[in-house]
């Protein structure tokens, strides 16, 4: 059960890192498009560390384990980055805002100094991505070990099921960002939603629950918490998609409409 929840959350966090760059860096921080492109490519750099991480988990066991200890360590690294991102107060957005929360692009920026703070956020996002990649490498190693124990006639079932779990985690992340980070300060249309710090705090709670679960053993409460929250978001996202597709319900305020 632990590797299933771990795979789901790693895919969830990995997709979160990719999804928030547009609304936060381009919208809230008002960075130029070429700067955003550089940040996006920099965020992909930890993906090339898969081979070094694999060698590390193979050759340098921690307390006699090659995979599980690094799996826990990855949650600690990711949790540290999420905690730092959640704890730092957000500066005022780059652009001036109208009364409804949307940006007024026709006047000079109200907070141009926010550009000097981008490196701090990029560093911790990079650190978060590196922790996620370490967890993915360790998890894939564990998955390979478990797959080798399967009977030959059904070998590959675990890998196929974990692939579906990972896709589910990425889908849940897309829905969470699409719904809760779709407010006007992040170039969305909703009047409500998470702030960037709020989203990082939400992810930190999930990360901490998974880290404690891996460190202390199985827990039905933690399992329900870790899987239940993204599942609720998934259900809510499907409901929103269905309601917004119908003209008579698309005006509901709680799904981003102007009111019926």
pLDDT tens across 88-128, in order? 888 899 999 988 888 998 999 999 999 999 999 999 999 99
Q: Considering just the CA atoms, what is the radius of gyration of the chain in Å?
A: 20
pLDDT above 70 for 215: no
Query: For the domain bounded by 2-220, which CATH number is listed?
Result: 1.20.1250.20
pLDDT(70) > 70: yes
Q: Which of 5-9, 128-132, 177-181 has the largest mean confidence?
A: 128-132
Alpha-carbon torsion, ordered 208, 213, 216, 219, to 10 deg: 130
**Confidence (pTM):** 0.76
Interval 229-239: pLDDT, tens: 556 655 665 67
Which comes out higher in pLDDT, residue 164 or 239?
A: 164
pLDDT band of 53, cuts 50, 70, 90: confident
Report the pLDDT averaged over residues 25-38: 90
What is the pLDDT averaged over residues 45-56?
84
Write down the mean pLDDT value for the chain: 81
Return the minimum-mean-pLDDT range out of 55-64, 111-120, 251-260.
251-260
Three-class secondary structure assignment of the chain: CHHHHHHHHHHHHHHHHHHHHHHHHHHHCCCCHHHHHHHHHHHCHHHHHHHHHHHHHHHCCECCECCHHHHHHHHHHHHHHHHHHHHCCCCCCCCEECCCCCEECCCCCCCHHHHHHHHHHHHHHHHHHHHHHHHHHHHHHHHHHHHHCCCHHHCCHHHHHHHHHHHHHHHHHHHHHHHHCCEHHHCCCECCCCCHHHHHHHHHHHHHHHHHHHHHCCCHHHHHHHHHHHHHHHHHHHHHHHHHCCCCCCCCHHHCCCCC
Mean pLDDT of 36-58: 85
Return the closest-CA partner of residue 126 out of 208, 45, 23, 61. Answer: 45
- Give the confidence band of 29 by pLDDT, cuts at 50, 70, 90: very high
Q: Can you give the residue ranges of every domain in the chain?
A: 2-220
Say how far residue 239 (Cα) sits from the centre of its chain: 21
* Structure tokens that stand for 238 in this block: 């499907």
Q: What is the pLDDT of residue 156?
A: 76
Q: How confident is the model over 151-174, as a mean pLDDT?
A: 82
């Amino acid at each position: 059960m632990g590797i299933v929840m771990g795979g789901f959350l790693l895919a969830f966090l990995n997709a979160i890192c990719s999804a928030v760059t547009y609304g936060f860096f381009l919208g809230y921080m008002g960075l130029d498009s070429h700067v955003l492109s550089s940040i996006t490519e920099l965020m992909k750099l930890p993906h090339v560390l898969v081979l070094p991480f694999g060698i590390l988990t193979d050759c340098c066991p921690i307390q006699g384990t090659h995979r599980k200890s690094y799996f826990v360590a990855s949650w600690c690294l990711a949790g540290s980055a999420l905690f730092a991102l959640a704890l730092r107060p957000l500066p005022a957005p780059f652009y001036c805002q109208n009364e409804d929360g949307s940006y007024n692009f026709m006047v000079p920026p109200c907070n141009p100094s926010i550009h000097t703070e981008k490196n701090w956020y990029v560093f911790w996002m990079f650190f978060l991505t590196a922790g996620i990649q370490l967890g993915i490498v360790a998890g894939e190693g564990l998955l390979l070990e478990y797959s080798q124990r399967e009977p030959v006639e059904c070998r590959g079932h675990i890998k196929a099921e974990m692939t579906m779990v990972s896709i589910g985690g990425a889908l849940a992340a897309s829905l969470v960002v699409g719904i809760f980070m779709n407010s006007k300060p992040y170039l969305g249309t909703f009047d409500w939603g998470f702030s960037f710090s709020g989203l990082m705090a939400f992810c930190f709670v999930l990360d901490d629950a998974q880290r404690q679960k891996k460190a202390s053993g199985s827990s039905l409460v933690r399992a329900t918490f870790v899987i239940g929250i993204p599942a609720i978001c998934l259900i809510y996202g499907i409901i929103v998609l269905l309601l917004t597709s119908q003209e008579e319900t698309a005006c509901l305020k709680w799904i981003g409409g102007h009111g019926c």
